[in-house]
Structure 1
Amino acid sequence: MNRVRKTKLRLIGAMALSSTVMMGTAAVAASTASAFLLYTASIKLKGLNLVKWADVLSVLTLASLPSTSSGTKPSGSSTTTISTPGSATTVGSGSAATGVPAMKLGLNLTAPTTWMGNRSFLNLLSGWRLSNAQGGWSDMPEDRLDANKRLIDLRPGESGIRQMALPTRSLWGESVDIICRWQGTGSVGVGGTPAKNSRVSGKTLTFTFVPQGGASAWLRIASTSPSDPVRNADCREVDADPNATFDPTYLAEVKRYGVLRFMKWSYGGVEGNLPVRWETRAKQGDEIVAGPDGVALEYMIQLANELKADPWFCVPWNADDEYVRKFAELVRTRLDPSLKAYVEVSNEVWNYVYPVTTQALKEGKAAGLSSNDHMAMLSRYSQKTGQVMDIWSSVFAGQMQRIVRVAAVQTGAWNADFVLSFGDTAKKVDAVAIAPYFAANLSANALDTSAGVDAAFAGLANDVNDRIAESKKVKDVATKFGLRTITYEAGQHVLGSAPLDKMIALQRDARMTKLYTTYLTKWRDEVGDLMVMFADYGGGSQWGSWGQRDYVGQPLSEANKERAVELFRQSYITR
């Protein structure tokens, strides 16, 4: 396991706790200070550090990917490089019990990476890295790039590196022929153990990607002309549509959901809470699809338009008014008018794992919103939400049916009531969003025996009932204010120190499938409205198993959580 991989695994520990249900409503209402001291201590006891941010929330166990000799091709796929396994129809509205809103299904999208099986863009190339004369890699200095993120400055012995995502069919254990094309003047090659039989002809390069576990390949630019830089580089399967933006297998799987939450696509600006500026953000037409603040907003809108799915945007906390306004104006201009844009401020501002929470607390205390730290933080979140929604409401004046303004809170009636009761916040939002995960935190020996596994599932079943009951209490509060109750994240939340193989076996147990069916059905019958699952792709790690599938194109027969959701969708959501 290389150093970068180990670093990502360490980071993931803190992120896996991002939507924890460890802090109960009663604890928050009665003694906020002690509740959060215990919460922080619980993280440190696991040997984890609170981190500023991480670009992922789930870790794919790359060693578990099919090898060339043992790969399983998804049913319905063809022998061409790009294929669509099975058919999918867009989610519609499902009939529900009397007095309960019709249910819809949504999905959180993991950020595009080069090291797990969540390939979304057809162009396999990621952002820039710099290789020095000794062969070491580092972040690319910003002053080496022009305004369009093109590499214009290389020193002797240096190379510009663009790592590639894992090609879709390589995830199925198949070798794939890749073609890279570019414009400009320079020396271009390919590296990485999966890259075989590379050939350069003019401004194209071809090679065969031979799966090597989770190893990736990369494009190497050894020289470039400052006046005519290597640019518009694109690497994809030789028989892929050269003009398409997104991988068709990814599109076929994601289109089953009617709402797509792009929180993870906005990773640096949202989870990282980095400073953002509209003029320096990643944008369509840049050499790379994503920058430090996240994937270009234009691509989020494009994906929503192509799939006819409502997008859910998270606005960075540190965005100034100009950024917020231009964000809203771009959505108004480019989003299909038949779609609704859900808009939320940052992500889980109540959660002290994230740096935004501390910032909100400090801002709330400085503004004198409360003498209690936690209440000052929540009050500042309410205030900030109102300020952002005022701008969006102004931009969409006369078209308010096109947006859904969201206030997101930790699951609990007290939290919802506190946030909505601050000033006139309740009048500036349309929905309250929660994350009613059914959860367990298992000890090291919890799964050593069949009786222990039985007990774990019994506990999870009880928690399904508790989460739905708590969601109904939140709904009572939201209804009092005339608002919808929806989820921003949902699903299982199993953590612990049990051996990884046993944790993964728990996730793949048929009883987990049944729990998902029960969970979805109870939400549909007792709460209703939108449930947004977390998340699309990502396999098992010691810090959780968050993906509905392990990788793009994984057969439903091997993805029990996604299979449960799909069967539910076909039975109850579309008719």
Structure 2
Amino acid sequence: MKQWIVRIVVPVAAIMLCVLIAKVNRPEEGNSFSAPARAATQAAPVPHRPTAFGLNLSYPAYWSNERAFMNLAAGGIWQAPHNGWKDFDPARIDQESTIRSLAPGEIAAMALVRPAAAYRGDVAITCLYDGKGVLGGIGIKDGKASPGRFDFTWPAGTKTLIRLDTTDPADPVRHIDCREAGADRKAVFDRAFVDGLRPYKAIRYLDWQAANGNVAGSWAQRTLPSSTIQGGAQGVAMENLVLLANEAQVDPWFVMPWNTDDAAMERFATYVRDHLAPGRTAYVEIGNEIWNMSFPAARQALAEGERAKLGSNRDEARMRRYAQKVTQSFKIWEKVFAGQMPRIVRILSGQNAWPELMTIALDYQDTASHLDALAMAPYFGQALLLEPPADTSDLGPLFAKLDGMVQETFVPALRAKQMADARGLRFLGYEGGQHITYSGKDATLVPRLNRDPRMADSYRKYLDAWDRQFGDMLMLLASSGSAGSNAAFGMTEYSGQPLSETPKRRAVLEAIERLKR
């Protein structure tokens, strides 16, 4: 079942692409651009703001090992077992994740998000649905099908799928909802997940809005709150993004996909204005890492900038197009939030290793007047294992080296902060934390480093340095994720993991508690 492997490898690769540093984004050979260090007209630096820490949310999918929704099917995807477990033909699935019909002898299957209790023991699950058809299961025990219902036992420690055996094209199986037997059927989000977000100041919806895939565009394409699947190519329903922020009592940080059209942008902003709880602030980015040519949106911005002849080189064309798109989009948010502008924070994001690139966008026409903040991703530890030791059994020397890298990552970040200060903008971290990657033979090295109690000490040094030198908000990556042999970005590895086993999360929560001053 190669699809299981793909579902694990692809998200890890996406995260790694998301955090690539200067290696592939240095000024291109032959470019004559030399960015000024400060704006031509000095602005008053924004007042110092207290330090706060936020969290980037992991994909709400079954392979993330994190349960966000009460409906265990919300993180699934329809697959075709008889076609090599490829994704089911999307043309045969409607906007609510309903397979409209099955061919004779055909079935479909969907992996479910594992509930926390299923890591420790068997769990009784009840799936309810509308329409006519029959559900079954794969990797289950004691399955029992009845009209509009499928009951089964989830065996401890296993992956489990539901199977669509038959469906009536005139009244197809739809609105599938699987959760623990006896669980509250009205709850949208898992209570433990919501409670785990409450200590943070904000949550960033990069993956929940599928910004890197950049598929979303029109209002008609959006995911509906009634859709069974909430982790698909169009991202999570807008209504659920706002609902989660309200329930967790945190600020939402939206990452609007580059191809979001103006009409969809306005309706999204209007919904946020009308439904985000009083006292909450909406942080807004347009696209993710337009500086990073690994992503479709960055390549699209370059192509659009070159077609419009926006610069004398590729960097100018791309960054000026970024500035145009940001300005165009934020004018929509400004219209929607007229008279309520303190409720939103308009963000331009750049590359921590080369912050000067962003002066092209910051100083293009009137871009800076439509911004509230400049954000970077100050990761540390990127080079830790570029030349790993021959003996990887002793982690002590590696942690000593890792701790020394904390200040190294803040050197360019301090330059970026000066750029923000010169333009009267806040300076934020849109992503951050350790960024250890490895391609050697010891498959246990990265997991051991991330699970070691000394990682908490490294995080304490990192978070304290941010507090001393910057203040304001740093968004850490990421809420959950497996500790793989190549990288491990999750604060936890799975839902319900004991705090004693999560040194990164423990250090962050301690820092948040210390900063309550």
Calculate the TM-score normalised by the size of structure 2: 0.91
Residue aligning to 1:78: none
CA distance in 1, matches of 2:79, 2:64: 22
Cα distance in structure 1, aligned partners of 2:378 and 2:31 = 20
**Match 2:151 to one of 201, 206, 222:** 206
Gaps of at least 5 residues in structure 1 are 35-97
How far residue 541 of structure 1 moved from its aligned partner, in angstroms, is 1.4
**Where does structure 2 lack aligned partners over 5 or more consecutive residues?**
34-45
Local SS of the residue matching 1:338: coil
State yes or no: 1:564 paired with 2:512.
Answer: no
Aligned counterpart, 2:363:
421
Whether the 8 Å contact between 2:95 and 2:223 is mirrored in structure 1 is no
Summarize deviations over 1:5-52 as a string: whole Å, max 9, x none: 146426734641422334499x53987699xxxxxxxxxxxxxxxxxx
Once the two structures are superposed, what CA deviation does each residue of 1:428-486 show, in whole Å capped at 9, x if it has no partner? 01000110001233558724437974443333223211222322221111111111000
Deviation of the 1:416 alpha carbon: 3.5
CA separation of 1:438/1:323 partners in 2, compared to 1, >3 Å: closer, same or farther?
same
Q: 2:136 aligns with which of 186, 189, 193?
A: 189
Hey, what's the Cα distance between the residues in 1 that align with 2:88 and 2:24? 43
Residue 303 of structure 1, CA deviation: 0.3
- The residue number in structure 1 matching 2:477 is 534
Kindly state the Cα deviation for residue 274 of structure 1 after the two structures are TM-superposed: 2.2
- Per the alignment, residue 510 of structure 1 pairs with 453
* Corresponding residue SS for 1:545: coil
- Partner of residue 430, structure 2: 488
How far residue 391 of structure 1 moved from its aligned partner, in angstroms, is 0.8
- CA distance in structure 1 between the partners assigned to 2:437 and 2:251 by the alignment: 31
Whether 2:329 is the aligned partner of 1:388: answer yes
Q: Does 1:438 align with 2:438?
A: no
Q: How far 1:111 sits from its partner (Å)? A: 1.0
Confirm or deny: 8 A CA contact 1:16 1:543 kept in the other structure. no
Question: CA–CA distance in 1 between the matches of 2:416 and 2:272?
Answer: 30
Alignment of 1:2-21 (within 5 A): 2-6=2-6, 8-9=8-9, 12-13=12-13, 15-21=15-21
- Distance, in Å, in 2 between the alignment partners of 1:497 and 1:33 is 35
Residue 272 of structure 2 is aligned to residue 272 of structure 1: no
Which amino acid in the other structure matches residue 417 of structure 1?
Answer: T
Q: What SS class does the counterpart of residue 235 from structure 1 fall into?
A: strand
Seen in structure 2, the aligned counterparts of structure 1 residues 224 and 13 have a Cα distance that, compared at 3 Å, is: closer
The 5-angstrom pairing of residues 217-366 of structure 1 reads 217-267=160-210, 270-274=211-215, 276-366=217-307
1:176 aligns with 2:123: yes
Name the counterpart of 1:372: 313
Structure 2 counterpart of 1:21, one-letter code: I
- Provide, for residues 494-540 of structure 1, a one-character-per-residue CA deviation record: whole Å limited to 9, x for no partner: 11223221222222233321111111111111110001000000121
Q: How far did 1:419 drift?
A: 2.3
**CA contact 2:290–2:301 (8 Å) conserved in 1:** yes
* Residues 439-454 of structure 1: pairs in structure 2 closer than 5 A: 439-443=381-385, 446-449=388-391, 453-454=395-396
| 1:87-102 superposed matches below 5 A | 100-102=48-50
| Further displaced range: 140-149 or 304-313 | 140-149
- What is the aligned length? 502
Displacement of 1:127: 4.5
Q: CA deviation at 1:555?
A: 1.1
Superposed displacement of residue 198, structure 1: 1.2
Q: Secondary structure at the match of 1:375?
A: helix
Kindly provide the amino acid, as one letter, of the partner of residue 309 in structure 1: V
CA separation of 1:550 and 1:33: change in aligned 2, threshold 3 A: farther
Judged with a 3 Å threshold, the aligned counterparts in structure 2 of structure 1 residues 10 and 237 are, in CA distance, closer, same or farther, namely closer
CA RMSD for the aligned pairs? 2.5
Distance in 2 (CA, whole Å) between partners of 1:135 and 1:28 is 45
Q: Counterparts of 1:135 and 1:358 in 2: how far apart (Å)? A: 33
1:331-353, Cα deviation, whole Å (9 max, x unpaired): 11221132111110110110111
Q: Aligned partners of 1:131, 1:283: CA distance in 2, in Å?
A: 23
Partner of 1:497: 439
CA distance in 2, matches of 1:444, 1:109: 28
- The amino acid of 1:185's aligned partner reads K
Deviations 1:122-175 (A, max 9, x none): 10114552536x46433333443345432322221112333211112113x221
> Contact 2:204–2:254 (CA<8 Å) still a contact in 1?
yes
Q: Is the 8 A contact 2:3 2:86 kept in 1?
A: no
Which stretch of structure 1 is more off in the superposition, 306-315 or 409-418? 409-418
Aligned residue for 2:339? Answer: 398
Supply the distance in 1 between the matched residues of 2:86 and 2:17 (Cα, whole angstroms). 29
**Equivalent-residue separation in structure 1 for 2:227 and 2:275 (angstroms):** 18
Alignment-derived partner of residue 47 in structure 1: none
Fraction of identical pairs, as percent? 34
* TM-score after normalising by structure 1: 0.82
Give the Cα separation in 2 of the matches to 1:457 and 1:375. 40
Q: Distance in 2 between matches of 1:14 and 1:234?
A: 28
Task: Determine the structure 1 residue equivalent to 2:487.
Answer: 544
